[in-house]
A and B are shown apart, each in its own frame.
Chain A
Amino acid sequence: MIDTARPTRPLPTPSGDGRPRSPVPPAESLADAARRRRRAGRRRSATTDLLGILAWVSAAVAVTLWLAAPGSHTVVGIGGWLTDAGIVAGLVATDLVLVMLVLAARVPLVDRTFGQDNAIAVHRSLGKPVLYLLLAHGALLTLGYGASAGTGPIAETIALFSTPDMPLAFLGLGLFVAVVVSSLVAVRRRLPYEAWHVIHLLSYAAVGVALPHMLSVGSVLAQGTWQRVYWIALYVLALGLIAVYRFAMPIVVTLRHRIRVVGVERIAPGVVSIHLAGSDLDRLGAAGGQYGVWRFWTAKTWWHAHPVSFSAVPGRGRARITVRDLGAGSGRLGRITPGAFVSLGGPYGLFTSRARTAPYLALVASGIGITPVRSLLEDTDLRPGEATLLLRGTDADQQYLWHETGALAESTGSVLYTMIGHRARSRESWMTEQDVERGVTLRSVFPRLLESDLYVCGPRAWSDLVVREARLAGVPEHQIHQERFES
């Protein structure tokens, strides 16, 4: 049932001594703020588009490396065509592998404009096509060389194995196959996260061992060519971004802020709030709604990094995250003892008020999805009536942080609805059976839905249904912000 009543329990003050809030609503008029956000949104999407176009162009440049190489205009015979198709496949595949590495490197520009979760979605969608290209590269070249030499594919494979740098290249291909296969949905579901992660790290090795044969066997990247210079520069750029943002930055952040666990608070069955202390945590630059990738240095937890949202905006010396037992790793987090050292990557994420483009704000959260929504609400300057929230839980136990959120809603003059109960069985819906029957829709909960930014956070299948209804209702894509839960 949708319940407009405010929580009746006494409201504790939100922990994590958040930033000082101005009790007065912002002076900027709603329309001005919306105009400013739209401009910022357009800039962001222009940057995103440019980055996307850059990725396309990089693939075209990879083809151009071959086009501009001697002999590419005079391909002769079936062997020649096979060989050249194989070369182009290899060049494009390698370029895309480097694009994938950059997408996964957590580059701030990508995260701020496109969102790291979107970047990972693109990264995933490239996996299989790239593998096909790499396999085609190997197959076409083996056949092509074989056809030119008049040998069969098996004899040619043996010949290739005895070519310098080629055994490494075959090893690289094998590693890529392992990485992609282990990431297929069906396989990944059966693999423990750690196994998948270790296999995935092999992609760095694969990229590394594949390089020598490109430079020594292929003629496109021959010594003294501009193609070789470009290719090495591309490698340096991609691996450099990884080294800096994926590995060095988290170390810098960790050493600078020296975060420790100061308390583990059980707030519901299977859900804990982890209270953290550190220095200058307000200078992490964490906006409400962002997440960090956390690693807790205890004997049982150090090998697993967890992407977890801040459940309160970090204060100067304190921060808080709230975790639900979603897997073996995060179940152990409940047993972390105070004093444990914490390393942090981030903060990351576009689930913040910075991403707004519309005058009003509609927030929908389910279960543990409340955490970024709560800190987002805390970190947003709101006029009374500007924001509307809908909190969703399967049962009464799932009201994590609801009273805190209620207090924030009250202090900002926001409208709060709650909906408790299992999802409807009669049809596919993100609502309870009762509410479906009563004819509740997103538009009836959020009357200004079309002029609102819709932030949705909750289990994947559930939030996809909310987003689908929003799209059908005509909410423009740039006003939909979905925090995807699985890493």
Chain B
Amino acid sequence: MRARVVTGGILSSIAVLVIGWQLGGQPAVTAPAQQRTTSGSGTSGTGTSGSGSTGGTSAGSTGSGTSGSSAGGSATSGTFAGDTTETQYGPVQVQITVANGKITDVTALQLTDQGGRSVQISQQAAPILRQEALQAQSAQIQSVSGATFTSEGYTTSLQSAIDKAGL
């Protein structure tokens, strides 16, 4: 009888764990803040310099940049702020500095700061994420463990900044 409990318990536990594993791995962020920027900024390829403007009522992203070359559009320069991404621990927004098509710096304008250890986690994760982003020159970077929400918010905002820079 006890054996029945143990076998039944183990089997159903395994089933539950498998289901749990299947459920897992969704992104940590809710839908990234929709494109609130109305006009593109820092468009490349035309040799114009754009200045970002915010649209709607929310403080969206701003960016200003120039593209140095009229051909190929490979040498953008300037700073580009990504979209604000909402996470359960607060909004995350990053800004990239681009020089001649290369990301030279990533600054966090806003980081997760709501609840518990959020500030601590953000402070830990931000330098690592920045380093990874500078190395990868893209938003395809590994998330920092223990800072899942911050990481996902960071990369999402980073991607939108890169998109704006047209890199």
Contact = CB atoms under 8 A, between A and B. Distances in A.
Interface of A: 45, 48-49, 52-53, 55-57, 59-61, 63-65, 67-77, 79-80, 83-84, 144-145, 148-149, 159, 163-165, 213, 216-219, 222-225, 477-478
A71 B125 CA distance: 14
Contacts of B149: 70-71, 219, 222
A156 to B, nearest CB: 10
A79 B144 CA distance: 10
Given A76-B142, A477-B1, A70 B116 contact: no
B155 to A, nearest CB: 12
Interface stretch (B9-17, B45-53, B67-75, B102-110): B9-17
A223 B88 contact: yes
Interface of B: 1, 4-5, 8-10, 12-14, 16-17, 19-21, 23-28, 88-89, 115-117, 120, 124, 142-149, 151-152
Give the secondary structure class of B's interface. Answer: helix
Nearest to B5: A52
Contacts of A70: 24-28, 148-149, 152
Given A49-B5, A163-B117, A68 B88 contact: no
B120 to A, nearest CB: 7
Nearest to A144: B146
10 contacts: A48-B5, A60-B16, A63-B20, A64-B23, A70-B27, A73-B24, A74-B25, A74-B142, A76-B143, A217-B117
Nearest to B148: A71
Most buried by A among B19, B89, B144, B145: B145
B125 to A, nearest CB: 9
Most buried by B among A73, A149, A217, A224: A149
Contacts of A55: 9
B145 A75 contact: yes
A206 B4 CA distance: 33
B120 A149 contact: yes
Contacts of A145: 117, 120, 146
Contacts of B142: 74, 76
A213 B163 CA distance: 39
B147 to A, nearest CB: 8
A69 B24 CA distance: 6
Contacts of A149: 120, 124
Contact of B89 (A63, A67, A76, A222): A222
A52 B117 CA distance: 37
Given A56-B8, A64-B17, A64-B20, 19 more contacts: A45-B1, A53-B9, A61-B16, A64-B19, A67-B23, A68-B24, A70-B24, A70-B26, A70-B152, A73-B24, A74-B148, A75-B145, A148-B144, A163-B117, A213-B116, A217-B117, A219-B88, A222-B115, A477-B1
B136 to A, nearest CB: 15
A52 B9 contact: yes
Contacts, number: 129
A159 B119 CA distance: 12
Given A61-B16, A64-B19, A217 B25 contact: no
A68 B88 CA distance: 16
B116 A74 contact: no
Nearest to A156: B120
A77 B124 CA distance: 14
Most buried by B among A60, A164, A213, A223: A60
Contact of A80 (B13, B89, B117, B146): B146
Nearest to B26: A70
A80 B5 contact: no
A213 B116 CA distance: 8
Given A53-B12, A56-B9, A224-B88, A478 B20 contact: no
B62 to A, nearest CB: 29
A84 B27 contact: no
A74 B145 contact: yes
Nearest to A83: B146
A59 B6 CA distance: 13
A218 B13 contact: no
Nearest to A164: B116
B48 to A, nearest CB: 40
A231 to B, nearest CB: 14
B116 A216 contact: yes
A70 B148 CA distance: 7
Given A73-B24, A79-B145, A478-B1, A67 B17 contact: yes
Contacts of B120: 145, 149, 159, 163
B145 A76 contact: yes
Contacts of A48: 1, 5
Contacts of A76: 142-145
Contact of A49 (B4, B144, B145, B151): B4
A382 to B, nearest CB: 27
A102 B23 CA distance: 29
Given A52-B9, A84-B145, A222-B89, A165 B116 contact: yes
A144 B142 CA distance: 18
A376 to B, nearest CB: 23
Nearest to A59: B13
The 10 closest A-B pairs by CB, nearest first: A56-B9, A80-B145, A64-B20, A71-B148, A60-B13, A52-B5, A217-B116, A70-B28, A67-B20, A68-B23
